[in-house]
Amino acid sequence: MSAEATSPGARSRRRGRTSIDLRRLGRAALLGPASRDRLPDAIGHVADAHRAHHPDADLLVLGKAYVLAEMSHRGQFRKSGEPYITHPLAVTLILAELGAETTTLTASLLHDTVEDTDVTLDQVRAEFGDEVCYLVDGVTKLEKVDYGAAAEPETFRKMLVATGNDVRVMSIKLADRLHNMRTLGVMRPEKQARIAKVTHDVLIPLAERLGVQALKTELEDLVFVILQPEEYERTRAVIADRATTGPSLDTIAEDVRRTLREADISAEVVIRPRHFVSVHRARLKRGEMRGTDFGRLLVLVGEDADCYAVLGELHTCFTPVISEFKDFIAAPKYNLYQSLHTAVAGLDGAVVEVLIRTHQMHRVAEAGVVALGNPYTPVDGAEPADGERADPTRPGWLSRLLAWQESATDPDTFWTTLRADLAQDREISVFPADGGMLGLPAGATCVDAAYAQYGDGAHGCIGARVNGRLATLSTVLADGDTVQLLLAQGPVQAPGDSGGPGPSPEWLDHARTPAARIAIAGWLAANPESLKVPESEPRAPGAVTAGRRGVANVVVDVPEDATVRLAGCCTPVPPDDVTGFLVRGGAVTVHRAECSAVGRMAALGRSPVAVNWGDEAECRVTLYAESFGRPRLLADLTEAIATAGAAIVSANVEPPSEQRVRHTYTLQLPDAAGLAGLMRAMRDVPGVFDVRRAQHEPAS
């Protein structure tokens, strides 16, 4: 049960809105309806606000819901002494003022009945239908007696899952939390801080993602008072003083009105004062505050085209600050927000921020998903396929959240991961090479894209191409990037088994999304051997005899304590003519006979060491491919290599130079006899004009 009392500092926050006496509403609630054929007086404010947005709304169901709620909560009081019915009334009024439709308001009036009274969900369903029942169930808390310390995180999990099927669930929860935050003053300081912290970490980011700015900004200010009281007092003092340097917003607003009138553009220009947290952020960013820093100008027009007409006039008649321009009309934000943002400077250099949008855009900007009414009303009578509802907010964040929460079975993991995910306050869109779009949080990497696209199949990811160029899995993606993810062939298994290599612990350092981190951590936990450094497998003695050392199918006459390695400058393979030289540390490097390093070794007076090839067929070789740049070139080359039966150990593609691209591949061949055929197959790829073995000057 919510039993908070009204906070003395909360009344002045809703400027320009009729003051409502919640005690009077409580008394009216207890008295009940004045007559049988009209609404109870207690919900008159709700009815007026609802009719302002929905003139044809049928209010009888609201009266019916109110009567049930009032009777159910009768005898319950808040800590302030107010009848408890004042809380669902206040929550419903918040939603009505935002433009919520009748079903949401009905569920809002009843949202605490199942949780705090003897009313059951079956009764709600029988009286008000399945939709209202679903919304009430979605916001009903889980009992601590059943879940203990996990009750809060599991309640939020339940609400989020319900929101995935109907976003109106979270609209009611946000309004519920707003009224509780307004009336938090009588709670103990430690409880105020705990509730404010959860509001800051979870509810405010959710309000932002659902586009409900009107609720988000007030919640931010209420949390600011509790969690940062000293900064709040400092900010309040700054607002009270109101810097007077430079022209005021009123003066610039009048200049803008005059400019638009002269251009024959019908527009409404209003001043939007910054809320407390916004002023606090501006003060930290800019230092000394000027008069124009305490608010923004909002220009409201009738049509989309008028927004750009206003922008043109402002940029013509004032000096634009180009770095501040953003077009969220052509590219709406992930939370439905649309607007043009710009900033202009007057003759004296004072800069003012300007928001330009239509009246409909403004309504959505303030109320977000609430402004959509019932977002699930069938269009032209068409019902959604398979009974699934289309997501009205188009948020990649919600589908991601619903996906990863299924893997986070532990409540603590879910709660921690939820807060971390919601802390990502910006989203980007990337485009897989095979079509579609992925929504990811800003800062996401190729690892995140892999798990977003393939789920657990991303365990076999071995690389990526970003905008056509090879990139590491740690590459941070930017909005609009095209991503092609390269997967290993065959199943991903633990080290030592056949199949792909699987994720490494370093992937956790690159993963930003909960889905990726949970999947990687789960695989590593199921395959603990992947955390160990694999020991080298003992080589078969085969061709090695006393006084002779063998490595990589090479048999060399060397001292027993010497090591043998194939030179990286020429990567010899059977049946190349080879020779070896003793180098520093007593090691022997094996070169192809025609390698330029052989001549230098001889010039230094170093004696060659006899080298022979063993009987093993496998070999490793480095090839250079020179080509002209074209789309899908890398894909065609790797396909030719795979068709020839070679495995790619490493690959590198240098940036194009004069339309030419150089590829370097280190390949593992099952038989050196297939090298010539492999090189021919690579040369046959369109655009490739040369393929050759590695032969270069070693680095000094």
Residues assigned a catalytic role? 115-116
Give yes or no for a contact between 291 and 343, defined as CB atoms under 8 angstroms apart: no
- Full DSSP string of 64-110: HHHHHHHHHHTT-B-TTS-BTTHHHHHHHHHHHHHT--HHHHHHHHT
Beta carbons within 10 angstroms of residue 556's beta carbon: 19
Beta carbons within 10 angstroms of residue 526's beta carbon: 10
Round to whole Å and give the CA distance between 479 and 483: 11
**Residue listed under structure tokens 């230098």:** 600
Token pair for 148: 């203990």
Round to whole Å and give the CA distance between 17 and 203: 24
Give yes or no for a contact between 297 and 268, defined as CB atoms under 8 angstroms apart: no
Helix ranges restricted to H, 395-554: 396-405, 411-422, 446-454, 507-510, 514-526
Q: In the beta sheet, which residues pair with residue 392? A: none
Backbone angles phi and psi of 575, in degrees to 5: -105, 35
Give yes or no for a contact between 139 and 128, defined as CB atoms under 8 angstroms apart: no
The contacts of residue 574 (CB under 8 Å, 6+ apart) are 553, 613, 617, 619, 672
Per-position b or e across 674-698, b if 16+ CB within 10 A of its CB: bbeebbebbbebebbeebebbeeee
Going from the C-alpha of 468 to that of each of 431, 447, 641, 649, the distances in angstroms are 12, 17, 19, 20
Identity at 172, one-letter amino acid code: I
Beta strands in 435-546 (DSSP E): 438-441, 461-466, 469-471, 482-487
**Residue listed under structure tokens 């100008």:** 297
The 3-state DSSP composition of the chain as helix, strand, coil percent (nearest 5) reads 45, 20, 35
Going from the C-alpha of 314 to that of each of 136, 321, 645, the distances in angstroms are 48, 11, 64
What is the arrangement of strands in the sheet containing 554-557, beginning at the earlier edge strand?
Answer: 548-551, 554-557, 611-613
Beta carbons within 10 angstroms of residue 359's beta carbon: 11
Token pair for 352: 């003012």
**Of 47, 43, 1, which is closest to residue 25 (Cα–Cα)?**
43
Token pair for 621: 């070789």
Backbone angles phi and psi of 117, in degrees to 5: -135, -175
Identity at 438, one-letter amino acid code: L
Q: Which long-range contacts (CB under 8 A, 24 or more apart) does 195-200 make?
A: 196/222, 196/223, 196/226, 196/227, 197/227, 198/152, 199/223, 200/227
